[in-house]
Every structure is written in C-alpha cells, then in structure tokens.
Amino acid sequence: MGPLSIAHGPETVVLKPSKPTSLLAALLLHPNTVVSAAYLLRAVWDEEPPATARAALQTCVLRLRRLFAEYGISATTIEAVPGGYRMRSDTETLDLVHFRTLAAGAAAAGDPGEELYRLREALSLWQGQPLANVASRMLQHDAVPALEQERLRVLERVCDLELAAGNCHQVLVDLYESARRHPVRERFTEQLVEALYRTGRQAEALAEYRTVRDRLRDELGIDPGPGLRRLELAILRAEELAPAPPRPARTATAAGAPALPAGASAAGRPVRALPPVPAFAGRDADRRAMAARLTAAGGPRLVVVSGAPGIGKSALARQTAHEVQEAFPGGVFTLQLARPDGTPVAVEEAARLLPEAAPGRCLIVLDGAAGAWQVLPLLPVAQDAAVLVTSRRQLAAVVATHGGAVHRLDVLRPAEAYGLLAGLVGPERIAAEPAATRELASVCGHFPLALRIAAGRLLTRPGLSVADCAAWLAEDPPARLALAEDAGLSVPEVLGQALDALAPELREAFFRLGAGGAAAEPSAGESESVLEQLVEAGLLEDGPPGPYRLHDLLRIYARWRVRTHETAVPAAPR
C-alpha cells in the first residue's frame, strides 16, 4: 500500500516499473485467489497483448520466481493452476491481507477504544500512493481507486470514533487533509465542520461548510446532503453538539495511513503504545540522555527539545517516547500545541485535552509549543507525569522554574543523514551511489525534513538515480524541496510559516543575515538583541562566546525568499 516493494529482513526493494511488476501487482490484488490468464494479460499489456502473450506471461512468472529466490522467497509462491495463476499470501507476507484482517477484526471489536486502536494500526500500513510504480493502465484505472476507497472508509470510521470519544482537536489534522483532498466526499467535511464547532471555532466551521456548498453547486449543480445542512442549522442556532455515538462500523476491507501520534480513550487516558519513527537515524547521545532523565526515579522529569523548523524535533521526541514507553505503565500521550496552520492552541483548550489521572506514571509529549506561556500553565495539570516538550524556542523560563534539560538540535551529521536516506529509500539503492547520496544530503543541508522530502521523491520515481535527484534539487533547493500533497513536507511552507510568525524587524534581519556568510556577528550590522531573538525563534544558532551561525539551508531559503517575494534586502539599521 504504497510503491510495490519486497521486504527481506531490514532491506526493502522498491520494484522498477516493468511487466513482471504489473503481473505481481495483479496477483497480489487477489491474494489466495485464482486469477485468470485473460485478466493477467490485460493487466500486463493493457489492450495490446503480443501474439505470443501467453508464452510471454510464463516468462514474466519465471522472472518473478527468480526475483523471489534472490530474497529467500519460495519459488512456489506463485502457483500455476488450471486457467491461470494463484499467489498465496497471509498477514505476515502481504500488507493488503494484514490491513483487511485488522479492519475486519476492528469491526468485530466490542469496545470503541479497541476498534480505534486496530483501525489506526491498519491505516499505519499505508506508505503513499498505492502501486505508484506499476505501469499498468488497467490497474491504475480500476484497482488503485478501489484501494483508495477502502482506505477512506476506514479513515471515516476512525474520525467517527474520535469524534464520539470527544477527541475533536486530535482528529483535526486528519480531517483538514481529508476534506481538502476529497472535497466531494461530504462525510469528511461534515466531520471537519463538527470538530471545528465543538472546539469553539464557529466562524471557521461555517466557512468550511460554505466552501463545500459553493463547490458542489458550481461543479456538480447539487446542494450539500442532509447531514451537512442539519449541521449548518445547528451552528447558526448555537446549539450544543454533544459527542454522538459513532456510526455503525462497516465491514471494512482496506489498507493503512500514518500511525496515530498519540492515543487516548474517551476519558482522555493514554491507552496505546507509540510506534517507532520510520527509518529514524542518529541522535544517539540525545536519545540516551533524554531517556535517562525522563525515566529517573527522583528529581524533575522534564525535557525540552528545541531547534530550527524541520530539524527533527518531533521525530526525536516520538522516537524517544517509543523507546522509553515500557517505563510508563500509565501510557504515552501526545498533545499537539500547534494547529495545522501554525497558530497555537489556547492554553485552556490544551489543559482540557490533557489525560486524566491514569494508574501508573505516564509520559506526556507536548509537541510544537509556541513559547513558555503555553507550557507553564500545563505543567501543574500534568502533575507527576514525565513531560517531553518540543519547540523552536529554548523555553528557558520553563526549565528555570521547573528544572529539566534542554536539547538544542543541530543538523544531522553526514553519516546520520546518509543512514536516514538509506533507511527511507533502501540500503541497496543508496549503496549503489554513495557519492551521490552524500551530495544529496549536502543539498538538503543535512536537515531531516529536507532529507525525507528527497527520499519521498526517490521512492515515487524508482527509475530516478540519486545523482540526478541531487542535481535537480541543487538547481533550486527551496522551491523543489516540497511534496505537493502535504504542506508539512515542504521546505517553503514550513520555513515560511516560521518566518511569517516573526515581527517585521526580525524578518528583515533574517534576510540581511541570509545575504551574508554562515557566521553573523553584531558588528555586521545587527544588534545582539536581534540576533538573540532569532536564536530564540530557532532561525539562528549558537552565540557568545562563539559566533552566531545560520544553517546552510536557512541561508539559501532566505536568499530565495528575497529573490521571489521581496524586492531587495533591507539595509541594516544604523
């Protein structure tokens, strides 16, 4: 459920678009079922099979069997049966079977919390656009939309369960993305409008309703369905919307999506474990030190992870939480303190979302804090829990009053960046071009965000060499380090959001520093106060007794921003 790939131990190989790849996809879409030769011929050759197509089909099967043998997969996995072929698969060998088994088990679960857990686990199996490397027009036209519908049905059910549990804020990220990507699927918009209204954002809720209403009228000539219309009327009347019981579960068959960043029951208690960050690499010393402090028997158990936008703060916090979760019998709970548009969550709302007292000590991850003002009121509510905070700011006021440690993240070391790319793209493909991989890491400024974007481009283009990818990105890194379907995987969006949150004089100072070299001294025209504020905002590093530093990627972004958005670099004040 993503590019078609073969996993063998720690190694994952994304298959190149080819006729054997199309054949394998056609077989895997019908696991444990006899697939007719006629269907397979259409899947492999679309409407233009060669005169010797059946013999060529046998050749494709032989090529697949040889490929399987290379990775220790039994050559009898593909069985020749009267009328066609069959491929036996189970939950251990095929993600699609695993997904459908989890979805079916979730529908049979008697407890909403258990159902939600299983559905989230099923969604976590999705790794991007299904069959992205399969060239068959027939499968792209027929099979891929059907798979996507399976996923969307499961995601709808997840959002229903979250809303019924009162977790309106936690589900907003899913709903924003789903409603934008599937505007005519009204249930997502209905859920989004309900979640916005129940979190006190009446104007935004009505704006979402009117946007989809206008789109439906303009593009399809129809009005919204009765569910959305009833919701609009309730909002206009300022009626209270109590958590509704979830809609009856459908017997779902589907595949997955990103893992739930935090788990909570209807009462707000942490109930599920946190999975590891995919392909996490490096930060070993930070992880060990953070784990030791969070699990310490006495003294403050507070850790702040700070640093530039996109430098990997949330990933480090989540990976560390995963590694220490067994020390917290009360569970792990993650609270996002920033909305998708970057605006901070109100302290009162965040306090309501914190977990109730749970049996045993718990770990609370406060992700994306805007400043000490947002964190300090939450610490008394957290009581005896260990607390892990991520923020672009260093939150000196927090650790000064409550103790704890601050981990200021720098970019990854070259070897760590190489390891991250190998973990994401696959060690074999990376090892084939080691020099190009190091160049690609350099183009990305060794920033985890940029590296993951580059890896996403390589994974969705199996025929693209690492060298060509690095050369293409190097021509215009800020503009090209972006994946169109996700604003969170876009260097211009992430850095732009951070920069636009600054006061105008700080933005201008950042542009001036970007026009210079990597080191920035007060004597270069900026006051020490301005430089310190940029350090606190996560856009500048270090400071006395050494020089201030501007990361390479941030300096390149500053110049690109001036070139594309501004007319000139403002002069330094005298």
Of the listed ranges 150-164, 446-460, 515-529, 539-553, the one predicted with least confidence: 515-529
With a cut of 70, say whether residue 516 has pLDDT above it.
Answer: yes
Q: Please compute the mean of the pLDDT values over residues 107-124 and round it to a whole number.
A: 84
d(CA 258, CA 261): 8
CB atoms within 10 A of CB 402: 16
Q: Find, among 209, 222, 551, the residue nearest to 411 by Cα.
A: 551
473 pLDDT band, cuts 50/70/90, is: very high
Look up residue 422 and give its two tokens. Answer: 């190998």
Q: Which residue has the higher pLDDT, 237 or 500?
A: 500
- Give me the percent of the chain exceeding a pLDDT of 70: 87
Residue type at 27? L
**CA 105 – CA 100 distance, rounded (Å):** 8
DSSP string of 77-97, one letter each residue:
GEEEETTEEEE---TTT-HHH
Among 457, 466, 503, which residue's Cα sits nearest to residue 484? 457
pLDDT attached to residue 243: 57
Mean pLDDT calculated for residue range 235-250: 61
The pLDDT of residue 299: 64
Higher pLDDT, 521 or 76: 76
pLDDT at 257: 27
Looking at residue 566, its pLDDT comes to 55
Q: HSE, CB side, 13 Å, CA atoms: give it for residue 179.
A: 25
Q: Which of 107-116, 331-340, 559-568 has the lowest mean pLDDT?
A: 559-568
| CA separation for the pair 481, 452 (Å, rounded) | 9
For 359-399, how does the pLDDT look when each residue is reduced to its tens digit (9 = 90+)?
A: 678 889 999 999 888 898 888 877 778 999 999 988 888 88
SS3 32: coil
122, 99 contact by CB (below 8 A): yes
* pLDDT at 43 exceeding the cut of 90: no
Distance of CA 211 to the CA centre of its chain: 26
Residue 249 has pLDDT above 60, yes or no: no
Report DSSP letters for 428-483, one per residue: HHHHTSHHHHHHHHHHTTT-HHHHHHHHHHHHT-TT--HHHHHHHHHHSHHHHSB-
pLDDT single digits (tens) 9-36: 677 788 888 888 888 888 888 888 888 8
pLDDT of 366: 93
Name the nearest CA neighbour of 56 among 35, 76, 64, 31.
64
In contact, 22 and 135? CB cutoff 8 Å: yes
Least trusted range by pLDDT, from 225-234, 448-457, 558-567: 558-567
Mean pLDDT of 515-532: 66
pLDDT digits (tens, 9 = 90+) for 335-362: 888 877 677 888 888 887 777 655 678 8
Structure tokens at 493: 């969006």
Per-residue model confidence (pLDDT) at position 400: 87
Sole residue written with tokens 């696991």: 31
Work out the pLDDT band at 224, boundaries 50, 70, 90: confident
Q: 3-class SS at 541? A: strand
Q: Is the N-terminal amide bond of 359 cis, ω within 30° of 0?
A: no
Length of the chain measured in residues: 574
Average pLDDT, rounded, for the chain: 82
The larger pLDDT score, comparing residue 434 to residue 222, is at: 434
pLDDT tens figures, 265-320: 322 334 345 678 888 889 999 999 999 999 987 766 899 999 999 999 999 999 99
What is the layout of strands, in order, in the sheet containing 519-520?
Answer: 519-520, 548-549, 541-542
3-state helix, strand, coil in the chain (%, to 5): 50, 10, 40
Helix axis angle, 448-459 relative to 466-475, nearest 10°?
Answer: 130
Among 323, 326, 322, 319, which residue's Cα sits nearest to residue 305?
A: 319
Measured at the CA of 11, the angle between CA 9 and CA 17, to 5 degrees, comes to 125
Convert the pLDDT of each residue in 166-193 to its tens digit: 888 888 888 888 888 887 788 888 999 9
% of the chain with per-residue pLDDT over 90: 18
Band (260; pLDDT cuts 50, 70, 90): very low
Please report the pLDDT score of residue 545 as a whole number.
67
Residue 319's pLDDT is: 92
pLDDT at 143: 85
Residue 419: CA atoms inside 13 Å, Cβ hemisphere, count? 12
